[in-house]
Amino acid sequence: MRQQSLVDKYNVPGPRYTSYPTVPFWDMATFSLAQWKTSLQQAFKESNSTEGISLYLHLPFCESLCTFCGCNKRITKRHEVESPYITAILKEWQMYCDLFDEKPNIKELHLGGGTPTFFSPANLNRLIKGLFSKATLAPGYEFSFEGHPNNTTREHLQTLYDLGFRRVSFGVQDYNETVQKAIHRIQPFENVKFVTETAREIGYTSIGHDIIFGLPFQTQAHVIETITKTKQLKPDRIAFYSYAHVPWIKGNGQRGFKESDLPSPEAKREQYETGKQLLQEVGYTEIGMDHFALPTDSMYLAMQNETLHRNFMGYTASKTQMMIGLGVSSIGDSWYGFGQNVKGLEEYYHLINENIIPIFRGHILNQEDLTIRKHILNLMCHGKTHWHDAEMQFEGLDDVLQRLQEMVEDKLIEITDSQLMLTPQGTPFVRNVCMAFDLLLQRKQPQKQLFSMTV
Map residue 310 onto helix, strand or coil. strand
**113 known member of a binding site:** yes
**434 known member of a binding site:** no
β-strands 74-75, 61-62 pairing: parallel
Query: For residues 182 and 352, what is the distance between their CA atoms, to the nearest angstrom?
Result: 38
**146 known member of a binding site:** yes
**302 known member of a binding site:** no
**288 known member of a binding site:** no
Cβ atoms of 73 and 342 within 8 Å: the answer is no
**114 known member of a binding site:** yes
Cβ atoms of 322 and 40 within 8 Å: the answer is yes
**208 known member of a binding site:** no
**325 known member of a binding site:** no
Q: How many C-beta atoms surround the C-beta of residue 311 within 10 A?
A: 21
**177 known member of a binding site:** no
Question: Using a CB cutoff of 8 Å and minimum separation of 24, what contacts does 224-227 make?
Answer: 224/274, 224/275, 224/278, 225/175, 225/176, 226/172, 226/174, 226/175, 226/176, 227/274, 227/275, 227/278, 227/279
**186 known member of a binding site:** no
Q: How many whole angstroms from its chain centre is CA 74?
A: 19
**210 known member of a binding site:** yes
**97 known member of a binding site:** no
**362 known member of a binding site:** no
Query: For residues 422 and 413, what is the distance between their CA atoms, to the nearest angstrom?
Result: 4
Q: Tell me how far CA of residue 213 lies from CA of 186, 234, 245, 268, 290, in angstroms.
A: 16, 19, 12, 7, 10
**238 known member of a binding site:** no
Annotated binding site for S-adenosyl-L-methionine: 56, 68-70, 113-115, 146, 173, 185, 210, 244, 331
Annotated binding site: 56, 62, 66, 68-70, 113-115, 146, 173, 185, 210, 244, 331
Annotated binding site for [4Fe-4S] cluster: 62, 66, 69
